[in-house]
Structure 1
Amino acid sequence: MTTQILLAGVTGLVGGDVLRQRLADREWNGRVLAPVRRTLPISEARVAAIVAALADRAADGELYAQVSDRLAGAALDVYISCLGTTIKTAGSREAFIAVDRELVLRLAKLSFDLGARRAILVSSVGASRQSGNFYLRVKGEVEDALADIGFERLDILQPGLLLGARNERRPGEAVMQALAPATNVLMLGNKLRRYRAVEALDVARAIVVLSERSEPGKFVHEHDAILALSEELKVPASAR
């Protein structure tokens, strides 16, 4: 049976690695449907770019129509959201919410309506709707709202700082990445280890492993769990 995945954020740091890691398994006969603003520079039968104006603040119905029209007849199995931006990149808090909360949830609802019963979300360590930090509060709101949609299995990854080369410039993050090896060493004990920086590739590998799991429930994965899942990808699928 062919597994169909809706992968949001495929042009980003983690999403791009998810796509590459998933396609690296030549025996995987599934299909990745990727909502994007422009055609992907990839020629692969297992990937379909769903080109739509995803960056604007379109009304729910308008956005739903754009993507759902292009997904007509699709039967989805898994929704994966690697969407994420910053307030500085987005330009305002409202624009940040439009992507990091509204778009994530619109595509989640669309995926559910098209049959997906499993969802995987890249969130952030410390995410909570009770947080005094705006960024973490929005992430927490997304986690809670996603859990209410009705997915039978929901995996939430809460990594710390993501390490890797982005397509966009984030000077502040670049400085933090350079300091990460030193700061990681200082983060000892269970309470601090969860805040350690992690390679985006490890997060992507963890997502690929989770995309093959169907046990029902809600699961939250922090730093150490993400690394453990990443290691599993090195084990043949038949042995997992």
Structure 2
Amino acid sequence: MVADFDDLPPLPEAQIAVCALGTTRAKAGSDAAFRAVDRDAVLAFARAAQKAGVTHFILVSSVGANPNSSLLYPRTKGEVEVALAAMGFARLDILQPGLLIGPSGYRRAERRPVERFLQWAAPVMDLAVPRDLGSLPAETVAHAIVALTKHSKPGVFRHTNRAIAAFA
């Protein structure tokens, strides 16, 4: 079932919610469709989570997220981070990984030649870029999310590759 983010049913009561929702501009088909997923749907889910009593929200965003960027992807990610921080969750963890690497699984049917090349080239490229800008196994991000569910100190926390790897 595909969720209608404009009209989400009430979510079950919970203390923690995790959002790793996202797409690509190419997959979405337009800038507006991309923003409808990566911004609007993420924020709709966050509002629904807050109504369900969530006090700890965990978001998988991206390295380079910046609401003032001239580029669509980092600007959208940055706008979401700012909006979530303003929502007043007791704890907000924002993971900002670099390129996620790992088995493509559900993406096998999709043609993503640039992403496929970057994953192949990541070990060499990682030697030339700062650690927080390099690649990170998706499994490491998943382990960090689980670890972060055990943290309760209030505030807004941004975690780049180094911190994500340390949590994992």
TM bin, normalised by shorter chain, reads: over 0.9
SS of residue matched to 1:186: coil
SS of the aligned residue for 1:143 comes to helix
Residue 193 (structure 1) shift = 1.9
Instruction: Establish whether residue 53 from structure 1 lines up as the match of residue 3 from structure 2.
Output: yes
Corresponding residue SS for 1:179: helix
Residue 165 of structure 1 aligns to which amino acid in structure 2? P
Q: Which one has the largest radius of gyration?
A: 1
1:149 CA displacement: 1.1
Cα distance in 1 for residues equivalent to 2:93 and 2:145: 9
1:133 to 71, 88, 100: 71
**Take 2:142 and 2:122, find their aligned partners in 1: how far apart are those partners?**
19
The superposition leaves residues 31-85 of structure 1 with CA deviations (integer Å, 9 ceiling, x where unpaired) of xxxxxx3xxxxxxxxxxxxxx534xxx6x3xx23xx22xx3xx211111111111
* Unaligned runs of at least 5 residues, structure 1: 1-36, 38-51, 231-240
TM-score, normalised by the number of residues in structure 2: 0.93
Query: How far did 1:157 drift?
Result: 0.5
Runs of 4+ deviating beyond 2 Å: none
1:105 aligns with 2:43: yes
Gaps of 5+ in 2: none
Q: In the alignment, is residue 224 of structure 1 matched against residue 162 of structure 2?
A: yes
| Counterpart residue number, 2:123 | 181
Query: CA–CA distance in 2 between the matches of 1:133 and 1:181?
Result: 26
The amino acid of 2:142's aligned partner reads A
**Which residue matches 1:31?**
none
Higher relative contact order (CA 8 A, sep 6+): 2
In 2, the alpha carbon distance for the partners of 1:176 and 1:75 equals 40
Q: What amino acid is aligned across from residue 83 of structure 1 in structure 2? A: L
Q: Report the alpha carbon displacement of residue 132 of structure 1 after superposing the two structures with TM.
A: 1.5
Q: How many residues align?
A: 164
Q: What value does the CA root-mean-square deviation take over the aligned residues?
A: 1.2
Q: Secondary structure at the match of 1:104?
A: helix
What pairs up with 1:49-198 in 2 under 5 angstroms? 52-54=2-4, 60=6, 63-64=7-8, 67-68=9-10, 71=11, 74-166=12-104, 167-168=106-107, 169=110, 170-187=112-129, 192-198=130-136
